[in-house]
Amino acid sequence: MKSFQIDRYAKGGVLRLGEGPEPELRENDVLVEIHAAGVNPLDSKIRDGEFKLVLPYRLPLVLGNDVAGVVVRVGAKVRQFKPGDEVYARPAQDRIGTFAEYIAMDQADVAMKPKNLTMDEAASIPLVALTAWQVFVERANVQKGQKVLIHAGSGGVGTIAIQIAKHLGAHVTTTTSAANIALVKGLGADAVIDYKNDDFEKALRGYDVVLNSLGRNTLEKSLAVLKPGGKLISISGPPDPDFARQNGSGWLLQQVMRLLSFGIRRKSKRRGVSYSFHFMTANGGQLGKITSLIEAGHIRPVIDRVFPFERTNEALDYVAKGRAKGKVVIAVK
C-alpha cells in the first residue's frame, strides 16, 4: 500500500511516499479503498508539530483526516456496512491516515456517501461539516433568528458553516476579502464584512455566536460583537481546560492549557460572554444527518482544486498558505 507519511515533525517538512502493508482490520472496522482525501490546515499543523503535545502520535505517521471511498472488507462485528458500499468519513483522531490507498476505520465513524456527490466532492466534506455541526448544533444550540458571525467565510470550514447556520435559520454574517463576497453570498451569507477595508468589531453588535478560525487578534476583537450571554467558540485555539479534560490530558497539560486560555477566558467573563475551544471529533451518526442535508440540496461542497495523489506535498503546501476558496482534495484513485 502506498502512503504519504512523516518520519519526524518539521515545519514545512516534506511527506515521504512509502510502501507498507494494508491497515489491520479490527472486529468493528471497515477497510476502505480510498478514492479521494480532503486536505485541511490540521494536516500541515500536525506535520509541523503544532499538536504533538495534544495529539501524541507515534511516528512514522500517515497524514490525512478526510476520506471518501469504497468498502472492500468488514470486521466480524460490522453490521452497518458491506463490501461495495460507497462511504465517507473523518477518521478518529488516533487513527488518521487518508493520504494512502487504504484505511481501516471504526464503523461508528463512517457514513454512506451522499448519492449526489462525486468521490472528490464527498472527500471535501467530513471534517469541516462535522466541525460546523458540532459548533452550531451541539455546542451553541443555534436557534432560528439568532445572529451568527463566521470568520473566514470563503475557507474550508467557513463555506460549509455558512450553509449549516442558514439551514438552522440564523442570520449569518461573515468576513472575507472583496474578491470572495459573491461566493459567500451565494452560499447564504446575509451580510459580509470585507476584512481588508472594514473593522468588523466596530460594525457589528448583538451577536449570539461567533465562530473563530483565525488568530488571537481576531479572537479578542470578536468579544465586542457579542451580546451578554453570547458564545465565542474558536477552532484555532487557544485550547481551554474543558478541552484538556475531554482529551484525557494529564494534570500538567491541563494547567498549560489553563494558562494559554486564561487571558481570553478572563476577558470573556468580564463581558458576560463565554469562551470555548472546539476540536471536532469523528461521528458517523452526525455525518449521516449531514448526508441528508446534502442530498436535500441544503449543503453543497466548495472545492478550490483537486491534486493527483503523487502531488500530495503540493496540495498540503497550497492549503498551508491559507488562500484556498473552500476545500482542496487529493484524487487517490
Q: Which amino acid is at 266?
A: R
- Domain extent, residue 181, equals 127-277
Reading the block at residue 83, the C-alpha cell is 463490501
Q: What is the CATH number of the domain that holds 24?
A: 3.90.180.10
Beta-strand ranges (E) seen in 82-190 are 86-89, 102-106, 110-112, 147-150, 171-176
Tell me phi and psi for residue 58, to 5 degrees: -90, 135
Q: Are 239 and 257 in contact (CB under 8 A)?
A: yes
CB-count burial class (<10 Å; 0-12, 13-18, 19+) for 57: middle
pLDDT tens-digit profile of 241-253? 888 888 888 888 8
Share of the chain above pLDDT 70, in %: 100
Rounded Cα–Cα distance for residues 133 and 48 (Å): 27
Q: What pLDDT, on a 0 to 100 scale, did the predictor assign at position 137?
A: 98
Which residue's C-alpha cell is 460583537? 225
146-203 pLDDT, tens digit per residue, is 999 999 999 999 999 999 999 999 999 999 999 999 999 999 999 999 999 999 999 9
What pLDDT sits at residue 51? Answer: 87
Residue 73: per-residue pLDDT: 98
Strand-pairing partners, residue 100, are: 3
Residues 25 and 64 occupy one common structural domain = yes
Do 206 and 313 reside in the same domain of the chain? no
Same domain for 121 and 132?
no
Quote the pTM value.
Answer: 0.96
Query: What is the structure's pLDDT at 54?
Result: 81
Angstrom distances, CA of residue 233 to CA of 66, 128, 147: 22, 15, 14
Looking at the structure, tell me whether residues 100 and 131 fall in a common domain: no
217 and 138 within one domain? yes
Q: What is the CATH number of the domain that holds 178?
A: 3.40.50.720
Collapsing DSSP to helix, strand or coil, 121 comes out as: helix
For residue 38, the model assigns a pLDDT of: 98
| End-to-end Cα distance, the chain | 12
Residues in the chain with pLDDT < 50? none
C-alpha cell at 65: 483526516
Total domains in the chain come to 2
CB 311 within 8 A of CB 30: no
